[in-house]
Amino acid sequence: MTGEQKTWTGKAIVARDSLANKGWKMEEVTTKEIKEDELLVELVASGICHTDIMCGSGSGNPDLFYYPRVLGHEGSGYVKAVGSKVQIAKPGDAVLLSFDWCGRCESCKGGLPSLCYESMPLNFGNKVSFTSAGAEHAGDVAGKFFGQSSFARYSVAKQNSVVNVTSLVTSKEELQTFAPLGCGFQTGAGTVINVAKATPKDSIVVLGLGGVGLSAIMAAKLSGCRTIIGIDRVDSRMETAKSLGATHAIDTSKLPDGKTVIEAVQELCEGAGPAVTIDTTGVPVLVKAAIEMTRKGGKIIQVGSTPPDFQVELPAFLFMNSGKAYMGAIEGNSISSDFIPKMISWYREGKFPFDRLVKLMPAEDFERGIHEMHTGETVKPIITWS
């Protein structure tokens, strides 16, 4: 290991029960020693994502919901120590944290690490990374969520989760702002560019205008899509979508009498519907609407997490005759080490102003960040550790 200190102690948000049961608390934890392919990172910031909330809000499925654990997967910080086989960074380097992947399976070898058979989806495996430093809750705490668990001042990260951005950031403050590039913004932009492969010929609809959805809107504008429709029911988010490139915004709570969201969308798309429909909500009624509103030969891309027991039912013969494709996507099918620098480049050129979506607050205020994300007051809350 490069670096003399073997373990580090600092604050972390430890989920010992569901969020609804007030089970998330700020505690002192100590990291486990890093392995040869791992890094010890001092976090400066972490974005809050709906996936963190989903995985820390339930019970009953031990693969999804287990406690105690440290969540977080949109981290940014500085490397403190590295394992003997780590080549991606050295102590002192600025890094962004993204998803883990094995590099050996057929998905990884085929250029789709976000679909890694070993580490994804969402790297839910219960892997001990911390020890509680307090007398009240002594014992091991799970980590390495997405290979990193960034809701902590110090965290152990797998090498493949790390993107070195030392040459791409100008300050600690900028590194904090860049934290959500590792998941939310990458997911939205990557879905448009890598999965849909949108072009100026395409009309596109994005359901849900949170961090993922608004990133998709920006990427659709970047791709020159001729019609870009954002769907939500929070006025401020719809206005933001229009300022970022949406040609239309539809409020599902204020549809004209008798008109469905399907009809409203299709009217704006030559009566046929969009060529690309991206659902970021996971709301069953909107998932069904997304499939129906899309034009023949179009793509419906499922990005938002639905309730675990929700089933999509398709009339096979009619669906075959429609030529539509219903597909899932994780992390925008991105290779983080390639796509994150691209997003930073677009940001520098003024084409991807994701900084307009973020709000920084101290890590101790994480409950406020979650509340503001749910109400729509804040699109992407970022908690800061220093």
Q: Are residues 138 and 255 in the same domain?
A: no
At 345, which amino acid appears?
S
At residue 6, the pLDDT reads 83
CA atoms within a 13 Å half-sphere pointing along the CA-CB vector of 55: 27
pTM, full prediction: 0.94
Q: Are residues 231 and 320 in the same domain?
A: yes
> Angle CA(97)–CA(103)–CA(105) in degrees, nearest 5?
130
At residue 257, the pLDDT reads 81
The H helix count followed by the E strand count for the chain is: 11, 18
Q: Are residues 147 and 287 in the same domain?
A: no
Q: Are residues 294 and 276 in the same domain?
A: yes
Q: Are residues 277 and 372 in the same domain?
A: no
At residue 124, the pLDDT reads 52
CATH number of the domain within which 203 lies: 3.40.50.720
User: How far apart (Å, rounded) are the C-alpha atoms in residues 256 and 264?
Assistant: 9
Q: Are residues 212 and 310 in the same domain?
A: yes
Q: Are residues 148 and 208 in the same domain?
A: no
CATH number of the domain within which 158 lies: 3.90.180.10
Q: Are residues 45 and 173 in the same domain?
A: yes
| Rama region for 306: left / alpha / beta (φ>0; ψ in -120 to 50; rest) | beta
- Asked if the structure places residue 30 within a domain, the reply is yes
Q: Identify whether the C-beta of residue 208 lies closer than 8 Å to the C-beta of residue 237.
A: no
Closest Cα to residue 325, out of 283, 297, 290, 284? 297
Distances (CA, A) of 209 to 242, 253, 268: 11, 14, 18
Low-confidence ranges of the chain (pLDDT < 50): none
Diameter of the chain by CA atoms? 68
Note the helical H segments in 323-384: 336-348, 366-375
Q: Are residues 226 and 264 in the same domain?
A: yes
Distances (CA, A) of 179 to 266, 314, 360: 36, 38, 11
Q: Identify whether the C-beta of residue 74 lies closer than 8 Å to the C-beta of residue 150.
A: yes
Residues 6+ apart with CB under 8 A from 131: 29, 30, 32, 138, 139, 140, 141
How many folded domains does the chain comprise? 2
Residues 6+ apart with CB under 8 A from 235: 251
Distances (CA, A) of 198 to 96, 113, 179, 195, 363: 27, 21, 26, 8, 37
Residue 33: other Cβ atoms inside 10 A:
12
At residue 60, the pLDDT reads 67
User: How far apart (Å, rounded) are the C-alpha atoms in residues 328 and 201?
Assistant: 22
- Domain hosting 225: range is 187-330
At 34, which amino acid appears?
I
At residue 28, the pLDDT reads 95
- Asked if the structure places residue 345 within a domain, the reply is no
Q: Which long-range contacts (CB under 8 A, 24 or more apart) does 168-172 make?
A: 168/341, 168/344, 169/94, 172/44, 172/386
Instruction: Give bridge partners of residue 188 from the DSSP assignment.
Output: none
At residue 133, the pLDDT reads 72
Distances (CA, A) of 72 to 38, 43, 122, 218, 382: 17, 11, 11, 24, 11
Q: Identify whether the C-beta of residue 29 lies closer than 8 Å to the C-beta of residue 14.
A: yes
Q: Are residues 259 and 289 in the same domain?
A: yes
Distances (CA, A) of 284 to 209, 237, 303: 16, 21, 13
